[in-house]
Amino acid sequence: MIENRTKAKLRAGETVYGVFAKTPEPTIAEIAAMCGWDFVICDCEHGPASPREFEGFARAVELGGASPHVRVPDNDKATILRLMDGGAHGVHVPWVNTAAEADRAVRAVKYHPRGERGLAGTRASDHGLGEPLGDYIVRSNDQTLVVVQAETADAVANIDAICMVDDVDVVFLGPTDLSHSLGLAGHLDHPDVVAAMDEVAGACQRHGLALGIFCGSAEMAVQWLDKGARYIVTGAEGLMARAMHSFLEEVRR
Ligand code: 3PY
Ligand code: MG
């Protein structure tokens, strides 16, 4: 496992920028990494990637100099293990609603003594060809990045307790699911949705945790940078769709 540059930047107080890709295509990963994004997230929650496809995706991200992250489909130890073993440096766990669920996510990502991740010679441990496993687990526990997604009314209600869980690195706002959970599906600018997101932002500030957020536009990202977010994410397919659409809009006669 190479050094986690994204985590190093966050530890240094810097802001990091990443992009989700639902399409498990190494070329997309390569382009994003070469464009200078800090991390590229293979989206296994909303996309179809298998653990095997994730491995190829992660290689391309690393070749381009970025950190390979993954969004797992659920908070299950066995699911998370297979994607971590494929070489994820950072893991997004969706739908984390309580401190117990946040701790469960951390324990799936970390080896003993913090967690209970299964140990083997895998891609993540350089197939057992690098440092001794005893050294590897210490380094992996230090380098892996845990991102818990706050995207329900329950998560907002429990946000202080979630923020206090050891080894959570980033609390990530999922505005779309949050708006849905509040009965305001898709109305991201509704005052109640904004108030809930501001509550999460306030808790991150109180607990000294990095705030992350999915931003569908650069305008939204700038707004949230001003509110203190330090882990900014958008979506590759959304960027591509808008670019394809606006090209035609501009040139078609
Ligand atoms: C959401 O908005 O629900 C997300 O999960 C964004 O990634
Ligand atoms: Mg979501």
pLDDT, tens digit, for every residue of 22-67?
999 999 999 999 999 999 999 999 999 999 999 999 999 999 999 9
> What are the structure tokens assigned to 192, written together?
């109640």
Report CA-CA distances (Å) from 182 to 74, 191, 192, 237. Answer: 21, 11, 8, 26
Nearest CA to ligand 1 atom 5: 174
Please give the Cα distance from 193 to 73 (Å, whole number).
24
Which residue of 149, 194, 233 sits with most ligand 1 atoms within 8 Å of its CB, as the best mutation to test the pocket?
Answer: 149
Q: What pLDDT was estimated at residue 2?
A: 73
Q: Ligand 1, atom 1: nearest CA belongs to which residue?
A: 174
Residue 140: the pLDDT is: 97
CA nearest to 82, candidates 57, 52, 107, 114 = 52
Model pLDDT, residue 1: 66
Q: By three-state DSSP, how is residue 94 classified?
A: coil
Determine contact, residues 67/39, Cβ cutoff 8 Å: yes
- Nearest-atom number in ligand 1 for the CA of 71 is 7
Question: Do the Cβ atoms of 188 and 221 come closer than 8 Å?
Answer: no
What is the distance between the alpha carbons of residues 217 and 36, in angstroms, rounded to a whole number?
Answer: 18
pLDDT of residue 4: 94
- Give every CB contact of residue 58 below 8 A, 6+ residues apart in sequence: 29, 42, 68, 70, 86, 87, 88, 123
Q: What is the pLDDT of residue 3?
A: 85
Does the beta carbon of 68 sit less than 6 angstroms from any atom of ligand 1? no
Catalytic residue among 46, 112, 127, 245: 46
Which pTM value belongs to this model? 0.97
Do residues 40 and 72 make contact, with C-beta atoms less than 8 angstroms apart?
A: no
CATH class of 5-251: alpha beta
Distance, CA of 136 to CA of 190 (rounded, Å): 47
Helix (H) or strand (E) holding 234: strand 231-235
Is-catalytic flag, 112? no
The reply to whether ligand 1 has any atom less than 6 angstroms from the CB of 90 is: no
Domain edges within the chain: 5-251
- In this prediction, the residues of the chain whose per-residue pLDDT falls under 70 are 1
Which residue among 97, 170, 177 has the greatest number of ligand 1 atoms within 8 angstroms of its CB, and so is best to mutate?
A: 177
The C-alpha atoms of residue 133 and residue 143 are separated, in whole angstroms, by 15
- Given the structure tokens 């992660």, which residue do they identify? 58
Alpha carbon distance 168, 159 (integer Å): 12
